[in-house]
Chains A and B, each alone.
Chain A
Amino acid sequence: MEKRVTFKGIWLPLLLVAPQIVITAVFFFYPAGQAVWQSLFIPDPFGLSMQYVGLDNFRFLFDDPFYRASFVTTAVFSILVTAVSMGVALYLAVLADRLIKGSGTYRTLLIWPYAVAPAVAGVLWLFMFNTRVGVVTWYLGLLGYDWNHVLNDGEAMGLVVVASAWGRISYNFLFFLAGLQAIPRSVIEAAAIDGARFWTRFRTIVFPLLSPTTFFLLVVNIVYAFFETFGVIHTITSGGPQQATTILVYKVYSDGFVGQDLGSSAAQSVVLLVLVSILTIIQFRYIERRVHY
């Protein structure tokens, strides 16, 4: 049975939710409204006047091959980031779950990267892979591999994916570990007695029972890959080479603040907003049905 608190008046509950509403209004609804409004105009280069253009900004956008390419880039990027960060985190969590001694230390060490800001993480990885002074680049050079993410599309994508996923692993790890530890020991033992070895147990018992956690992380990670990876991309590749790592959110920035095309940038924000809403709705409606609670 769900327990509900009932209030007599309307004012106290309003007061209690007011801070959240104010924050959402100021930092989300207002800018989002502005974006929708601005996406219908083209300002002049000096920002002194605006001309109403209807949906021309959108029409122009979808005719732009670079913008369409950015969709593909974003899809590849977010699938890779989500897959890498969740896969590695799950693997580490399964190992940590089996650990009895020293699990505290192990856990703490794994959680640390989460405290590193995306931009800082980006810089860390950039230094390691710097084409001239990077440590990893130097070792790769010794092995005869010429690392150059400034020129090579694939290497650039690989680097931003790894850097973005790295900070995310800690977060996913925490949730996976908690999820694993919430599975009753005796259920696993019953499966072991029933003849299931480790991998079978994982596939048929552990993973299905973990699905609420996995589903939650899937949603959160995709949203993360869409938006919060801006810092990493900005510090490592700035969207290059040749827009190879320009995901949608980065294009909003580079077209709007670098290219000074505010109308197009606003239209892109709107597209992004709609896209993420659709994605989340799809996820909740179709994937959640297969989740065992």
Chain B
Amino acid sequence: MATVTLDNVRKAFGKTQVIHGVDLDIADGEFIVIVGPSGCGKSTLLRMVAGLESVTEGEIRIDGARVNEAEPMDRDIAMVFQNYALYPHMSVFDNMAYGLKIAGTPKDEIARRVATAAGMLQLEPYLKRRPRELSGGQRQRVAMGRAIVRKPAVFLFDEPLSNLDAKLRVQMRLEIKTLQRELGVTSLYVTHDQVEAMTLADRMVVMNAGRADQIGRPLDVYSNPKTEFVAGFIGSPPTNFLDAARLGRRAKGARLGIRPEHVRIVPEAETDLGGTVAYAEPLGAETLIHLRTLDGQAITVRQDGAHPIPEEGATCGIAWEPRDEMHFAESGQRV
């Protein structure tokens, strides 16, 4: 168990700068999720912590000790890869025992630790099988088991669930969370899926083009995004952005953001903003209504499934509470 500190960490491949200085303090036992679209540098950041990529500038500290120059094996970390990276020629048992064998752990101790991990992950019936004889979810568990048995100070997860189907992903997400709580190991988890980020994280880091746009607890980030990017990336369906100038009222900043659940459909007489219904998506518990304003901007409204659904092509008014508005400057920063 350990703390992890990233101090103005930068990375450049040749002349291309991909990480522009990230600062992050991870407390002991904390579950941090780094989330962002592909190409934002989140995996690179994780690989730098793992020691698989060199640090161009700045410092990474694990438990207070600088590890920039340390080899991956000397950092006391374990990593779960997107493609699991299991050793195809070894049995499940040997896959999990590999790290311990190299460390010279006594045989009975290895057997005990692997058995414990296999028990936690319901892998007991498969210990003698090869990875290719397992399903995706089982392979995922073996990869987790391999990380657990070594009792590392830090867990690193590189999009571990993205190769699984949707149902399994939800199930494994819960298992990972439970496991991490149980073991209390400091974890750094990379994903492009904002639902994973919201559900798993104690704190999340939203990455945008090599920068950490915002670091905070999931609900804080959701309700109080610092940049237009964060407001648009976190939340599904995403935040509506309207051109403030064209709205012609209370124009603070360049764009106004309003989350779909904050927009209400009201009679046209009660509001100065309206639009036509493009189409509606009734999802049961809730309904998503996609509107187009008179000047052509798209707005999504999310309302309770019990509310009446307007006809496609109908015109209606929309309104929201001023306190739910988010204003963004031209640069994307919140004002």
Contact = CB atoms under 8 A, between A and B. Distances in A.
A193 to B, nearest CB: 5
A191 B98 contact: yes
A187 B85 contact: yes
Contacts of A205: 87
A136 interface: no
Contacts of A289: none
Interface string B58-79: 0000000000000111000111
Contacts of A190: 79, 81, 85-87, 146
Given A189-B72, A197-B73, A184 B85 contact: yes
Contact of B85 (A189, A195, A209, A292): A189
Interface in A174-207: 184, 186-187, 189-197, 200, 204-205
Contact of A292 (B89, B102, B103, B146): B89
A199 to B, nearest CB: 11
Contact-size category for B: 20 to 34
A192 B74 CA distance: 10
Interface string A278-293: 0000000000000010
Given A194-B150, A196-B102, A205-B87, A189 B73 contact: no
B186 to A, nearest CB: 16
A194 B73 contact: yes
Given A192-B52, A192-B73, A193-B72, A187 B102 contact: no
Contact of A195 (B83, B89, B99): B99
A208 interface: yes
Interface string A155-188: 0000000000000000000000000000010110
Interface string B78-118: 11011101111100000000110011000000000000000
Contacts of B98: 191, 194, 196, 204
Interface in A114-156: none
Interface of B: 50-52, 71-73, 77-79, 81-83, 85-89, 98-99, 102-103, 146, 150
Given A190-B81, A194-B99, 16 more contacts: A186-B82, A187-B88, A189-B50, A190-B85, A190-B86, A190-B87, A193-B50, A193-B51, A193-B72, A194-B73, A194-B150, A196-B73, A197-B73, A200-B102, A292-B88, A292-B89
